[in-house]
């Protein structure tokens, strides 16, 4: 009986790595995107609602099977650290748990606000995408540098918003009515997206140019940090492959 249990668990663990099972999960993840969009429409017929509920139920059942298989066979996983609770608290497992909550079928109005958790199903793609895994790993390893650049960005936005409001409010009070208008202008100019309004004072024009160039330089710095992180991770992977031979 013990041997049968071990063989059954091994088969369950192997199922998680089967190409057809992985493909099924990926298809359901991408199917959830239009499903989430259409479920928010106010012009749904009874047939549309029935189809959405059926698809959501099917997705929930498959994701539930996958989640409990991972939890059951966790001691066979290289990520297992001697505790199923610790394994269940991994970010990937928490996302999987949130993804299996069948929010479409909850008819209790106070709980319907939690339907947005269905969007966590899309995050499951990280588990099956090596580039996305690498991206999150780079984000984690370069956290200190990214946070430092983010603080500089916040400082630039805050200081320039105050200064632009100080100089432009008196010149065009209908455009820069409050500090939030100045913050919106600064953020849009910083991202080079354009805010639809312009500064007219010499000081405001100078600050607008300064914010634009600051945005270009800091975004380039962010890109450089990510690029160096990706190169480091790829180098580590190549070294691991060479050492494994």
- As a whole number of Å, the end-to-end CA separation of the chain is 38
| DSSP string covering 59-70 | HHHHHHHHHHHH
Residue 82 phi/psi, 5-degree rounding, is 95, 10
Q: Tens digits of per-residue pLDDT, 80-127?
A: 777 888 888 887 788 788 777 655 444 444 444 555 556 666 767 766
pLDDT greater than 50 at residue 45: yes
The confidence score (pLDDT) of residue 111 equals: 46
179 and 158 in contact (C-beta within 8 Å)?
no
Please tell me the distance from the alpha carbon of residue 218 to that of residue 101, in angstroms, as a whole number.
Answer: 40
66 and 99 in contact (C-beta within 8 Å)?
no
The confidence score (pLDDT) of residue 107 equals: 46
What is the pTM for the complete model shown? 0.57
Task: Calculate mean pLDDT across residues 144-158.
Answer: 86
Domain 143-244 architecture: Orthogonal Bundle (1.10)
How buried is residue 85: exposed, middle or buried, by Cβ count under 10 Å (0-12/13-18/19+)? exposed
The confidence score (pLDDT) of residue 194 equals: 65
**Domain locations in the chain?**
2-128, 143-244
pLDDT greater than 50 at residue 197: yes
Q: Which two tokens stand for residue 121?
A: 């199903």
Please tell me the distance from the alpha carbon of residue 63 to that of residue 11, in angstroms, as a whole number.
Answer: 18
CATH of domain 2-128: 1.20.120.350
| DSSP string covering 163-213 | HHHHHHHHH-TTTS-SHHHHHHHHHHHHTTS--S----SHHHHHHHHHHHH
């Amino acid at each position: 009986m013990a041997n049968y249990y071990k063989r059954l668990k091994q088969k369950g663990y192997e199922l998680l790595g089967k190409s057809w099972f992985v493909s099924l999960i990926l298809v359901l993840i991408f199917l959830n995107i239009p499903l989430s969009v259409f479920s928010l429409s106010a012009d749904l017929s009874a047939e549309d609602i029935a189809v959405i509920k059926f698809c959501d139920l099917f997705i929930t059942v498959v994701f539930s099977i996958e989640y409990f298989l991972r939890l059951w066979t966790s001691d066979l996983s290289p990520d297992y650290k001697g505790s199923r609770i610790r394994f269940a608290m991994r970010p990937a497992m928490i996302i999987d748990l949130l993804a299996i909550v069948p929010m479409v079928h909850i008819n209790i109005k106070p709980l319907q606000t939690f339907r947005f958790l269905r969007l966590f199903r899309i995050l499951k793609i990280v588990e099956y995408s090596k580039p996305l895994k690498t991206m999150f790993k780079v984000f984690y390893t370069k956290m200190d540098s990214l946070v430092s650049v983010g603080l500089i960005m916040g400082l630039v936005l805050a200081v320039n918003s105050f200064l632009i409001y100080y100089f432009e409010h008196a010149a065009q009070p209908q455009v820069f009515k409050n500090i939030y208008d100045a913050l919106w202008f600064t953020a849009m100019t910083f991202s080079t997206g354009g805010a639809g309004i312009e500064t007219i004072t010499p000081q405001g024009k100078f600050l607008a140019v300064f914010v634009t160039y600051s945005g270009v330089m800091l975004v380039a710095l962010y890109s450089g940090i990510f690029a160096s992180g990706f190169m480091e991770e790829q180098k580590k992977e190549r070294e691991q492959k060479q050492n494994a031979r």
